[in-house]
Chain A
Amino acid sequence: MQRVIRFAIAALAALGGPAAAETLTVYTYDSFTSEWGPGPAVEQAFEADCGCDLEFVGVDDGVAILSRLRLEGARTRADIVLGLDMNLVAEARATGLLAPHGLDLSGLSVPLPADMLDELFVPYDWGYFAFVYDSELLPVPPASLRALVDDSDAEILIQDPRTSTPGLGLLLWLREVYGDEAAAAWHRLRPRIVTVTSGWSEAYGLFLEGEAPMVLSYTTSPAYHMISEGEDRYQAASFAEGHYLQVEVAAKVATTDQPDLADRFLAFVLSPGFQDVIPTTNWMYPVVTPAAGLPDAFAALVTPERALLMAPDTVAQSRGAWIDEWLVAMSR
């Protein structure tokens, strides 16, 4: 029996063994790596260029990338993290696990004040959070966040702010609009939240299955349906208070065993090989406009009158308390 157990343990250890050398491991969110996401095109283009193996490790969503990095600490296998956003950069910096990218970020088309760009984080795309609705199930969407909370009976699908950057974005969006009344607003909204998923893909999938007429996503999501499906049934609701801005960033992990490959990858992120596929695979605005311009469908999208964004330090200070408050408001 002992021999059997010893064999089993050895076999288990072998099954969980490390990956081969010359591999660049990128932690990112699931939808990035999916077959219709940017992952396959990015992998092909970068591998052709570097002669290495680019390995994506997909977790639920953006916030989970930071949690995972924290859990693993200096032992992490990640060489690059891709998919944090401005709401997480202060906390990510505080882990001390990230290294400077050494790239020149001036000249990128990102709607951010210049002082928010720094030596650790490389912005790679951006967009505005929005509720996307199915116009066949919901002909007249709410015209503001306040209307959604207090003056609508539409059911919605959202993501968990503890794992997902859209979920966290909505938490901050309600904060911006309601201030200290945010918890009460969540409590009023709660009965119409069909489910809280841990990642964007699952919520959006449930939305397309018809589980609810509205889902938390991006102003750019309808472009996917227009371009890939020739369908304008799905639209983003324009909210009067303005829309919360998301800028997604990538960074190099300080403990990487492939520093040169990691630098090369970050430079690649700002090159056409990466940027040109972003609009029609990640369905976000690229930070470097493609030579051929954006697809026509992007001109038809909702453009918010006001972009909302909190200072990263404010978010870092209060995220824990606001999430606790959200948990209480969402529980019975």
Chain B
Amino acid sequence: MNSRPTPGVLLPGAGAALALALLVGGALIGLLLAPEGAAAGRPWVDGYVLAVLRFTVWQALLSALLSVGLAVPVARALARRRRFAGRALLLRLLGLPMVVPTIVGVLGIVAIYGRSGLLNEGLGALGVAARLDVYGLSGILIAHVFFNMPFATRLLVQAWAGIPAESWRLASQLGMSGGQVFRLIEAPMLRQTAPGIAGLVFLLCFTSFSVVLVLGGGPPNATLEVAIYQALRFDFDVARVVVLATLQVAVCAVLVGAAGRLARPMPVDQTLAPPVERHDLAGVWSRALDAVAIAAAMAILALPLAAVAAAGLAGPVAAVLADGELWRAALRSLTVGLSAGLLAVALGWGLVSTSRELRARYYRRGAADRLELAGSLVLVVPPFVVGAGLFVLLRPVADVFAIGLILVVLVNALMGLPFVIRILGPPAAQVAERHLRLCDSLGIAGWHRLRLVDWPLLRRPAALALAVCSALAMGDLGVIALFGTPDTRTLPLLLYHRMGSYRMDEAAVTALVLLVLSLLLFVAIERGLGGDADD
């Protein structure tokens, strides 16, 4: 059985891996060999670079601690209270920030926490003189919590579901109080899972771009990604880009390497164990605590989005909707989103279809894992470094601004790849394990196997992967900020531009349009391609 893998099996994975290697490797080589790469009379690492590195680590650390710290009580409340009004709504809200374009979320956050936002007006009305400043570290942290607390909560809810039912039964029989349950059952589980989740959030915030670009407020609050963007776009200072990118790749590699288990596939769907009778939940204090956690989570998530909707509807809707520029940008964004999503799923399917064969047919588990890890490469080499590298590499031979959208599709496909592998990998492997022998004995292979076996069984996760990647790419204000011109402006870039030239009422409507289109795209793909949720 342990024979050599046939070329037919290796081809999709090898092709996808080669494409990744060319893209990422080409970008890195482009950066390192850039003719402008030599620093002119300046130390490689000066006070500015050190300050940027320090701030990047510091804000990511605080963001991770805050996000996970807030997620723990919310996840605990969700695990304890199986039935309450709004539970379904909260679960839906927790999935939303994944699909909400970053810049739209940021706009909503400014509307709530900004100088003339709801919170400060409220504080003012109460006669409190202190005011919250949304520009700088506080704003960055608020935005990072908005985007990452839900993610951490979902992972923690799964962790809670992983506590064996026997533990609960035992706790119930022994009549443990809420405090004892936490100390003896929940805290040990958190000690095992929370650091990994915090590490993942740290990595996401370490490479944060659009949040910091909009809310950072200048050099004192720049992350490495923002500094790379500014060095390239403002000064065309390739020497500095190389230094910043090297630091970024090094830190990410250390992080991912140190926490290799972070990259382990985590199921995205939530499954909760059958409920066990809990006697520790009836106390007034425990009810109040859970209610506060749930209400706070609802407020953190719903208020900014409600503000976006309200401001958008109050803006000059008709004028903005009648503007051809908006729809051209929307069309570009949809095209970019779908193309990047399809490319990511194609690459991901290539890797997954080979890795599962390696596992199920040839028992080459190590090779299979390495192949899937290649898809998560982008976690080590952040998209912006790839974008900067392609920019420098292609500049002598092509007009990078004219082909900007193609580069945006490529980089966004890379960013989506880890999601594709996480969503599609486990079910694809399962299908192979269950049906491989049957397919072989019936002689079902190639296209027929794809059509008759894989498609019906993998349709849902494939649609989810495509929906996530397309929505992410559609709402991305990352590399498009580097390559974008008025001719290639996507909807997020148009929105950023309108905020920058202080056309806030137009920006509000644009944000609402972007939000609605992103959600529609997500739902259309997930439902349309994936079939009904109930089948």
Min distance, Cβ B61 to any Cβ of chain A, angstroms? 15
Per-position binary interface string of chain A over residues 193-225, scored 1 when its CB falls under 8 Å from any chain B CB and 0 otherwise? 111111101101110011100000000000000
Closest to B400 in A: A71
Closest to A159 in B: B218
Which of these, A16, A162, A324, A328, contacts B234 with CB under 8 Å? Answer: A162
- Residues of chain B with a CB closer than 8 A to A205's CB: 502, 504
- Residues of chain A with a CB closer than 8 A to B233's CB: 67, 71
- Residues of chain A with a CB closer than 8 A to B219's CB: 160, 196, 326-327, 330-331
- Residues of chain B with a CB closer than 8 A to A70's CB: 236
Closest to A327 in B: B48
Instruction: Assess A162 versus B230: contact at CB under 8 Å? Given A15-B331, A34-B501, A331-B220.
Output: yes
Closest to A12 in B: B405
- Residues of chain A with a CB closer than 8 A to B488's CB: 15-16
- Residues of chain B with a CB closer than 8 A to A332's CB: 51, 54-55, 220
Instruction: Kindly state whether residue A5 has any CB partner on chain B within 8 Å.
Output: yes
Chain A interface helix/strand/loop/mixed:
helix
A contact residues, range = 35 or more
Per-position binary interface string of chain B over residues 365-378, scored 1 when its CB falls under 8 Å from any chain A CB and 0 otherwise? 00000000000000
Instruction: Kindly state whether residue A170 has any CB partner on chain B within 8 Å.
Output: no
Instruction: Kindly state whether residue A116 has any CB partner on chain B within 8 Å.
Output: no
User: Among residues 173 to 205 in chain A, which have CB atoms less than 8 Å away from a CB atom of chain B?
Assistant: 190, 193-199, 201-202, 204-205
A195 to B139 alpha-carbon distance, docked (Å) = 12
Instruction: Kindly state whether residue A8 has any CB partner on chain B within 8 Å.
Output: yes
Which of these, A12, A190, A194, contacts B339 with CB under 8 Å? Answer: A12
User: Among residues 189 to 235 in chain B, which have CB atoms less than 8 Å away from a CB atom of chain A?
Assistant: 217-220, 222, 230, 233-235
Instruction: Kindly state whether residue A1 has any CB partner on chain B within 8 Å.
Output: yes
A19 to B488 alpha-carbon distance, docked (Å) = 12
Q: A9 and B346: CB pair below 8 A? A: no
Q: Which of A57-65, A236-244, A268-276 interfaces with chain B?
A: A57-65
A211 to B133 alpha-carbon distance, docked (Å) = 9
Q: A195 and B401: CB pair below 8 A? A: no
Instruction: Kindly state whether residue B404 has any CB partner on chain A within 8 Å.
Output: yes
Min distance, Cβ B456 to any Cβ of chain A, angstroms? 18
Instruction: Assess A72 versus B500: contact at CB under 8 Å? Given A5-B346, A193-B218, A210-B116.
Output: no
Per-position binary interface string of chain B over residues 468-494, scored 1 when its CB falls under 8 Å from any chain A CB and 0 otherwise? 000000000000000001111000000
- Residues of chain B with a CB closer than 8 A to A15's CB: 328, 331-332, 335, 405, 488
Instruction: Kindly state whether residue B336 has any CB partner on chain A within 8 Å.
Output: yes
Per-position binary interface string of chain A over residues 1-41, scored 1 when its CB falls under 8 Å from any chain B CB and 0 otherwise? 10011001101110111110000000000110010000000
Q: A64 and B234: CB pair below 8 A? A: yes
Which of these, A13, A163, A193, A331, contacts B406 with CB under 8 Å? Answer: A13
Per-position binary interface string of chain B over residues 51-63, scored 1 when its CB falls under 8 Å from any chain A CB and 0 otherwise? 1101100000000
A12-B332, A202-B502, A328-B51 given; name 18 further pairs at CB < 8 Å. Answer: A8-B335, A8-B338, A8-B409, A11-B335, A15-B332, A30-B500, A57-B485, A58-B501, A67-B233, A70-B236, A162-B234, A195-B136, A195-B217, A198-B500, A201-B500, A210-B116, A326-B219, A328-B48
- Residues of chain B with a CB closer than 8 A to A196's CB: 217-219
Min distance, Cβ A182 to any Cβ of chain B, angstroms? 15
Which of these, A67, A163, A331, contacts B55 with CB under 8 Å? Answer: A331
A330 to B487 alpha-carbon distance, docked (Å) = 34
Q: A163 and B234: CB pair below 8 A? A: yes
Per-position binary interface string of chain B over residues 394-429, scored 1 when its CB falls under 8 Å from any chain A CB and 0 otherwise? 010001011111100100000000000000000000
Closest to B406 in A: A12
A57 to B401 alpha-carbon distance, docked (Å) = 14
Which of these, A60, A75, A327, contacts B500 with CB under 8 Å? Answer: A60
A205 to B136 alpha-carbon distance, docked (Å) = 18
Instruction: Kindly state whether residue B499 has any CB partner on chain A within 8 Å.
Output: yes
- Residues of chain A with a CB closer than 8 A to B338's CB: 8
Which of these, A31, A190, A202, A326, contacts B499 with CB under 8 Å? Answer: A202
- Residues of chain A with a CB closer than 8 A to B362's CB: none
- Residues of chain A with a CB closer than 8 A to B403's CB: 13, 16
Closest to B58 in A: A332
Identify the interface centre among B116, B219, B230, B395: most chain A CB within 10 Å of its CB: B219
Min distance, Cβ A192 to any Cβ of chain B, angstroms? 12
14 A-B pairs, CB-CB below 8 angstroms?
A: A11-B339, A13-B403, A15-B328, A15-B332, A17-B487, A193-B218, A201-B500, A211-B115, A328-B48, A330-B220, A331-B47, A331-B51, A331-B52, A332-B51
Q: A72 and B401: CB pair below 8 A? A: yes
Min distance, Cβ B224 to any Cβ of chain A, angstroms? 13
Q: A5 and B343: CB pair below 8 A? A: yes
A63 to B395 alpha-carbon distance, docked (Å) = 21
Q: A16 and B404: CB pair below 8 A? A: yes
Min distance, Cβ A145 to any Cβ of chain B, angstroms? 20
The 5 closest A-B pairs by CB, nearest first: A196-B218, A205-B502, A331-B51, A195-B217, A8-B339
Q: B46 and A16: CB pair below 8 A? A: no
Instruction: Assess A9 versus B487: contact at CB under 8 Å? Given A67-B233, A328-B47.
Output: no
Instruction: Kindly state whether residue B434 has any CB partner on chain A within 8 Å.
Output: no
Min distance, Cβ B429 to any Cβ of chain A, angstroms? 21
Instruction: Assess A12 versus B409: contact at CB under 8 Å? Given A160-B218, A204-B502, A328-B46.
Output: yes
Q: B399 and A72: CB pair below 8 A? A: yes
Identify the interface centre among A193, A196, A204, A209: most chain B CB within 10 Å of its CB: A196
Q: A12 and B336: CB pair below 8 A? A: yes
Min distance, Cβ B277 to any Cβ of chain A, angstroms? 51
Closest to B215 in A: A195
Instruction: Kindly state whether residue B140 has any CB partner on chain A within 8 Å.
Output: no
A190 to B497 alpha-carbon distance, docked (Å) = 26
- Residues of chain B with a CB closer than 8 A to A330's CB: 218-220
- Residues of chain B with a CB closer than 8 A to A11's CB: 335, 339
Min distance, Cβ B294 to any Cβ of chain A, angstroms? 34
- Residues of chain A with a CB closer than 8 A to B217's CB: 194-196
Instruction: Kindly state whether residue B342 has any CB partner on chain A within 8 Å.
Output: yes
A199 to B500 alpha-carbon distance, docked (Å) = 7
Instruction: Kindly state whether residue B135 has any CB partner on chain A within 8 Å.
Output: yes
A202 to B338 alpha-carbon distance, docked (Å) = 32
Min distance, Cβ A327 to any Cβ of chain B, angstroms? 4
- Residues of chain B with a CB closer than 8 A to A320's CB: 235
- Residues of chain A with a CB closer than 8 A to B48's CB: 324, 327-328, 331
Min distance, Cβ A16 to any Cβ of chain B, angstroms? 4
Which of these, A16, A58, A202, contacts B405 with CB under 8 Å? Answer: A16
Min distance, Cβ A71 to any Cβ of chain B, angstroms? 6
User: Among residues 289 to 340 in chain B, which have CB atoms less than 8 Å away from a CB atom of chain A?
Assistant: 328, 331-332, 335-336, 338-339
Min distance, Cβ B66 to any Cβ of chain A, angstroms? 20
Q: B502 and A201: CB pair below 8 A? A: yes
